[in-house]
Amino acid sequence: MDNLEDLKILAEQWFHQGVEFFQQIPPTQLYAAIGVLLLTTILLVSIRLFRRTKSNTVLLSGLSGSGKTVLFYQLRDGSTHQGAVTSMEPNEGTFVLHTENIKKGKTKPVHLVDVPGHSRLRSKLEEYLPRAAAIVFVVDALEFLPNCRAASEYLYDILTNTSVVKNKIPVLLCCNKTDKVTAHTKEFIRKQMEKEIEKLRVSRSAVSSADIANDFTLGIEGELFSFLHCYNKVTVAEASGLTGDTDQVQEFIREYVKP
């Protein structure tokens, strides 16, 4: 008890001293000090925000076999080397896109991550999503129909992921393998996937899943689903990782990772 009393007295004394000290300082100086303090905090906060928005991480995701790894090396080296097999681990790299290399401009490198599509490795994606600036969702336009449902489910999980919704991470629906004539068009693929997601929306909203953390529902109640209804921007593009026809993908990347 005594101790407490002592402390109280001590604190009171300090307080008084502090007040006296402030009263001694001329007001202009005081204002200046406060001003400086405010400015630095604003600066610090803005730097943090700045950094956050300026993430340069772009994710390549999509089902296994959609051509992510080929696309990754095409963007990095401008070559597919000797081809690819199913990935067991992500491919990651920070580089200036291959085509930009030639121009010798001062460009900001992109941190590109190719996340394996095998469903057993899905959990890897969640590790990368929080720091992603943009996502390229690669779809196999050749073998599209048999994979439509699985691809839509994967995309649905991405579009309802907390980080994606909160940070409004833009998604590019990249229809790959368009070098072949039998490839489906991007419009067809977009429509089919919208239809499929519409169905998922119905069944998933019924299950508030305990395990799959879909925290958000997609689209607008009572309307057929369209990618336009997403919280984030979803665009569609065509590409071919094999032949190196990746202009639209590069454009997309550069839109969100400014050179």
Partner 1 sequence: MLEQLLIFTRGGLILWTCKEIGNALKGSPIDTLIRSCLLEERSGDVSFNYDAHGAAYTLKWTFHNDLGLVFVAVYQRILHLLYVDDLLSLVKQSFAEIYDPKRMAYDDFDETFRQLRKEAESRAEELRKTKQVGKPLGNVKKQGQVSKSGLEGGNKRISESGGSKKDDGDGNKAKVGNLTNGHSNGNHQMEDDSQTSDLANGKENTTDNVALDLSKLQKLRSKGVRGRGGIRKADSIGNKGSKVTAAEPAKKATKKNRVWDDAAPKQEKLDFTDSVDENGNNDHVDIVAADQGESMMDKEEVFSSDSESEDDDEPGSDEKPEAKKKGWFSSVFQSITGKANLERTDLEPALKALKERLMTKNVAEEIAGKLCESVEASLEGKKLASFTRISSTVQGAMEDALVRILTPRRSIDILRDVHAAKEQRRPYVVVFVGVNGVGKSTNLAKVAYWLLQHNVSVMMAACDTFRSGAVEQLRTHARRLQIPIFEKGYEKDPAVVAKEAIQEATRNGSDVVLVDTAGRMQDNEPLMRALSKLINLNNPDLVLFVGEALVGNDAVDQLSKFNQKLSDLSPTGNRSLIDGILLTKFDTIDDKVGAALSMVYISGAPVMFVGCGQSYTDLKKLNVKSIVKTLLK
Ligand X SMILES: Nc1nc2c(ncn2[C@@H]2O[C@H](COP(=O)(O)OP(=O)(O)OP(=O)(O)O)[C@@H](O)[C@H]2O)c(=O)[nH]1
CB 228 within 8 A of CB 194: no
Q: Does 158 bind partner 1 (CB under 8 A)?
A: no
Nearest to 213 by CA among 125, 81, 148: 125
With 0-12 CB in 10 A as exposed, 13-18 as middle and 19+ as buried, what is 245? middle
Q: Considering only 53-61, 80-88, 176-184, 221-229, which stretch makes contact with partner 1 by CB under 8 A? A: 80-88
Sequence-distant (6+) residues with CB within 8 A of 135 are 58, 59, 61, 129, 158, 164, 169, 170, 171, 172
**Nearer to ligand X among residue 127 and residue 215 (C-beta):** 127
**Nearer to ligand X among residue 172 and residue 230 (C-beta):** 172
Q: Does 177 bind ligand X (CB under 6 A)?
A: yes
Residue 153 touches which member of partner 1, ligand X, Mg ion, none, C-beta under 5-8 Å by kind:
partner 1
Q: How far apart are the C-alpha atoms of 223 and 154, rounded to whole Å?
A: 22
Q: Does 69 bind Mg ion (CB under 5 A)?
A: yes
Q: Does 163 bind Mg ion (CB under 5 A)?
A: no
Q: Does 69 bind ligand X (CB under 6 A)?
A: yes
| Per-residue exposure over 37-73, b if at least 16 CB sit within 10 Å of its own CB, e if not | eeeeeeeeeeeeeeeeeebbbbbbbbbbbbbbbbbbb
Binding site for ligand X (CB under 6 A): 62, 64-70, 83-84, 86-87, 116-118, 176-177, 179-180, 240-242
Binding site for Mg ion (CB under 5 A): 68-69, 87
Binding site for partner 1 (CB under 8 A): 64-65, 69, 73, 77, 79, 81-91, 114, 116, 118-123, 146, 149-150, 153, 199-200, 202-204, 206-211
